[in-house]
Structure 1
Amino acid sequence: MTIGEALYEERKKLGLTQENMVRGVINKGHYSKIERGLENISIDTLFRIILKHHIDISDFFNKVKDNYYTFEDKKAEELKQKIMYAFNNNQREELRIYLNEILDLKEHQIFKYRTVIAIASLENNLSDLSPSLKNKIITKFYERENWFENIGALQLFSDCMKIFTLEQLDYFLEQLLKHYQKHTYSENMQERIAIICNNYLCYCYKQKMGGSNIQNALSYLKKLESTGHFLLYKYVMIYIFIYLKAI
């Protein structure tokens, strides 16, 4: 679906004429051509229309993203869905097939690393991964000063903790938590950081290791709103806190 088609669909759902849709933003003639795909729309104008009518931004971009992906991007998205399904259903043979397809992609390096680590972890053979591969993954975080602003890097860090030494893990987590204590950020980003703290605490618990950021991670989770999906992370915090009191 193109942006024009998505705008048309949203306008119809709202029961608006083209004139009412864009009044105070752009002229109706220009907008009419946008809906028909005859003219482009600027990012500024698009956001003004979306925000004016309280259109769900995430839902809107999910409608149009496939039209702007490259062939390889589309393939990567399909493989992500297949991998997720295979993991949830413990389909190990399928996982190996999908892994080979993922490794054949020309780009999407972070997706490749995440999949390799996830499958190795599932099969309990992380120790069999080459030191070279582990070093390549860890080096990515040393090379990028602002890795904590990159969603792909955050996902990689969350998924690949088991290949870090505890010293490395604490160093990067400290960077991350210091950064997000100083900034205001979205609920989605709050949840990403919560997942990382959750994984870090579970990792320290399972490995019986006293990481230097345990209290910082607990404090982060404690400050989350006690609503909806954040409750899960707060329950983990309580469980780990009780464990720490017991040792």
Structure 2
Amino acid sequence: MRIGKLLRESRLAAGLTQTEMVAGVVSESFYSKVERGIHSIDADTLIEILKANHINPVQFFSKTLDGPIQESPHKKSLQDASFMANKIANSANKRDLEKLGQLKKEIDQAEEQGKPYYIWIPYILELMTAWITHSTDDISEPVKKKIQHLSKGNNWGFLNYEYLGMAFIALTPEQVLNFSHTAYQSYVKNSENILSYTNTVGIANLVIDFLMYAYIHNFNKELCAETFAFFDKNIPYEASFYQHRVIVRLYKTLFDNDTEKVDFYTRLLEEDNFTFCLENVPVAKKDGSHAH
């Protein structure tokens, strides 16, 4: 396996952005080209980057020959992390704060036992909880630092799109408008995104996060115009983006005050048990009126 590909896989496995991975050793631009196989990197610099991220150089170089990435023996496995992420997502979609609280206890216990989950697991849980409660009081310092790291750098990728969008609930309206604009520009400028399904999923999720935030914070329709235009132009008409498209259309009708279509798109999402984005959506009463 070539160095660039292995670096990328190791970075994603650890839940790190390129900005975090370089750790000030080299420029982010240079590192990005190393991952893509455009630039080579000398051994001393590579080892310095690996050590800065607590990646065992011997294990890393052994994987250039063959085999899967060596996971950290000091953390929960990636499979465990994936299972936990799915449980968090399912509980959040049901707005089940009690279950999310139980999952937080499991995550805290893993930390106490000396084998914690990767940082993006508590990150997801804390921010999903914040979206439900509309409170950032329980967001920890490590997660706040992660948000700060994600907001820096020019080489955006899936982690930036996915996780910064998730963090919108903890940001100011000005920050959300700025970061969403930067994300859209970054996506369009990088021609590789057209071929990257994961990056497209990430930016589509960021669009949804923006619209939920915009509705909660009473943005006017003009402030959402860029987001609607970006989605229509750049997100493909494919089955895998069906729910994204339904949600975007729901928010378009909300900003247009078209209650009939709001009810239609709301029912579609409810039928698919995709209700996370519906908390603040007006619900139709039996008499045809709406409660907000």
Give per-residue Cα distances to partners, 1:164-212, cap 9 Å, x unaligned: 0010111111111011112222122112101110111122123322387
Match of 2:256, SS state, is: helix
5+ residue gaps, structure 1, are 1-39, 47-63
Residues 1:232 and 2:234 are matched in the alignment: no
- Give the CA deviation at 1:157: 1.0
Aligned equivalent of 1:29: none
Q: Give me the TM-score of the superposition, normalised by structure 1.
A: 0.60
Aligned equivalent of 2:166: 159
Which residues of 2 match residues 1-247 of structure 1 at below 5 A? 65=68, 68-75=70-77, 77-85=79-87, 88-89=90-91, 90=96, 91-101=99-109, 103=111, 108-122=118-132, 124=133, 126-129=135-138, 136-142=145-151, 144-146=152-154, 148-149=156-157, 151-184=158-191, 185=193, 186-210=196-220, 214-223=224-233, 224-246=235-257
- Give the CA deviation at 1:42: 5.8
Q: Is the 8 A contact 2:107 2:117 kept in 1?
A: no
* Amino acid of the structure 1 residue aligned with 2:167: C
* Amino acid of the structure 1 residue aligned with 2:215: Y
- Equivalent-residue separation in structure 1 for 2:84 and 2:117 (angstroms): 18
- Equivalent-residue separation in structure 2 for 1:246 and 1:152 (angstroms): 34
- Equivalent-residue separation in structure 2 for 1:76 and 1:42 (angstroms): 20
Q: Is the 8 A contact 2:122 2:143 kept in 1?
A: no
Match of 2:86, SS state, is: helix
Match of 1:126, SS state, is: coil
More helix by share: 1
- Give the CA deviation at 1:119: 3.4
Give per-residue Cα distances to partners, 1:188-247, cap 9 Å, x unaligned: 211210111011112212332238752221112212222211222222222222222339
Computing the radius of gyration from Cα coordinates, the structure with the larger value is: 1
* Amino acid of the structure 1 residue aligned with 2:211: L
Match of 1:148, SS state, is: coil
Q: Give me the TM-score of the superposition, normalised by structure 2.
A: 0.52
Large movers: runs of 4+ above 4 Å: 40-43, 102-107, 130-135
What is the CA RMSD across the aligned residues, in angstroms?
A: 3.4
Distance verdict in 2 for CA 1:213–1:192, change over 3 Å: farther
Distance verdict in 2 for CA 1:241–1:204, change over 3 Å: same
- Equivalent-residue separation in structure 1 for 2:218 and 2:245 (angstroms): 20
* Amino acid of the structure 1 residue aligned with 2:153: E
Q: Is the 8 A contact 2:228 2:248 kept in 1?
A: yes
- Equivalent-residue separation in structure 1 for 2:221 and 2:169 (angstroms): 13
- Give the CA deviation at 1:72: 3.8
Could you tell me the percent identity over the aligned residues? 12
Q: Which has the higher contact order (CA 8 A, sep 6+)?
A: 2
Q: Is the 8 A contact 2:88 2:103 kept in 1?
A: yes
Give per-residue Cα distances to partners, 1:62-115, cap 9 Å, x unaligned: xx64x6322245435404413522552542453132230465556833433332
5+ residue gaps, structure 2, are 1-61, 259-292
Bigger mean CA deviation after superposition, 214-223 or 192-201:
214-223
Aligned length: 185
- Equivalent-residue separation in structure 1 for 2:81 and 2:244 (angstroms): 28
